[in-house]
Amino acid sequence: MVQVTKIAGARVCFCCVWDYTGGPMRIPLFASFFTAAAMLCSATPAAAAPESPLLSSDELSDIVGADLSADLWELTSPNGPSQTTPVECRTMSNATTTLVYGASWSRYAGAGYADGEGSAYRTVAGQIVGVFPTAKAASDVFAALVKGLRSCGSKTSVEHRSSGDLTWRNAVDQITAAGASWHSLLDNKPRWRCSLNARLDETAVVEASVCAFIDPNSAEQAAALANKVAAIANELVARAD
């Protein structure tokens, strides 16, 4: 699992794992549910001006071991939201890596992909820097994430691909004040199990999202991939201190 450690100044590091076998931007709906919160706020408040990223793209490239200079998060993918996607889920059909400032979100291009354990897996490493004036501001952001998951969890989304349409659905297992867990189904077959956890206090938020590929024949590979991303998360934390 990914270990995320409290950082001074309410900074938060984030790592997420998901399958990336279908080419650029062919990302399952569930893996990008947090983007729904990005649509709730369109601008960064003046009182919470953006800081510099914790790491430069070059530094993150060194950790991940891949060239992250290319921006792979454009929302112009042909695999973007389709008319068959429920309205509640359309803003979640494509993922962006984001920075959190107060209770608002903005796009961050300093993230990319690196080969995972075998060609069937990819890791995605990104940074979230949080500047939360109060625990309530942090709680509001977390609530928006959970709301996005809850509203889309029982909906079905059809993702159009050149190789054929894929039908995704999220099934929420549990939602509490401290976190949420869910699993996704592709064409009615379990494919992923995910969790979102947060710790809120007056000075910091600790938030992590990690997803594991459900495949009885590759449990060891999935575990190895999760461990690799945990190492990346810990390295980000160490450099931020």
Single-letter amino acid code for the residue at 92 = M
More confident residue, 226 or 41: 226
Domain hosting 229: range is 8-240
Q: Is residue 3 part of a domain?
A: no
Q: Is residue 2 part of a domain?
A: no
The chain-wide mean pLDDT, for the chain, equals 47
The whole-angstrom separation of Cα 219 and Cα 208 is 21
What would the pLDDT profile of 135-182 be if each residue is shown by its tens digit? 555 555 556 556 666 776 667 777 666 667 777 777 777 777 666 677
Whether 58 contacts 67, CB under 8 Å: no
Q: Is residue 1 part of a domain?
A: no
Task: Copy the structure tokens of residue 224.
Answer: 């190895």
pLDDT band, very low/low/confident/very high, at 219 (cuts 50, 70, 90) = low
Reported as type and span, the H/E element at residue 180 is strand 179-186
216 CB-near residues (< 8 Å, 6+ apart)? none
Residue matched to tokens 């893996």: 31
C-alpha gyration radius of the chain: 17
- Helix, strand, or coil here: 15? strand
Q: Where are the alpha helices (DSSP H) in the chain?
A: 35-38, 57-64, 135-152, 219-240
Q: Where are the alpha helices (DSSP H) in 49-132?
A: 57-64
Q: Is residue 42 part of a domain?
A: yes
What pLDDT, on a 0 to 100 scale, did the predictor assign at position 68?
Answer: 38
Question: Rounded to the nearest 5 degrees, what angle is found at the Cα of 218, between the Cα atoms of 217 and 219?
Answer: 110
What pLDDT, on a 0 to 100 scale, did the predictor assign at position 186?
Answer: 75
Q: Is residue 90 part of a domain?
A: yes
Residue matched to tokens 């976190």: 179
Read off the pLDDT of each residue in 71-75 and give the average, rounded to a whole number.
Answer: 30
Count of the separate structural domains present in the chain: 1
Q: Is residue 114 part of a domain?
A: yes
220 CB-near residues (< 8 Å, 6+ apart)? none
pLDDT band, very low/low/confident/very high, at 15 (cuts 50, 70, 90) = very low
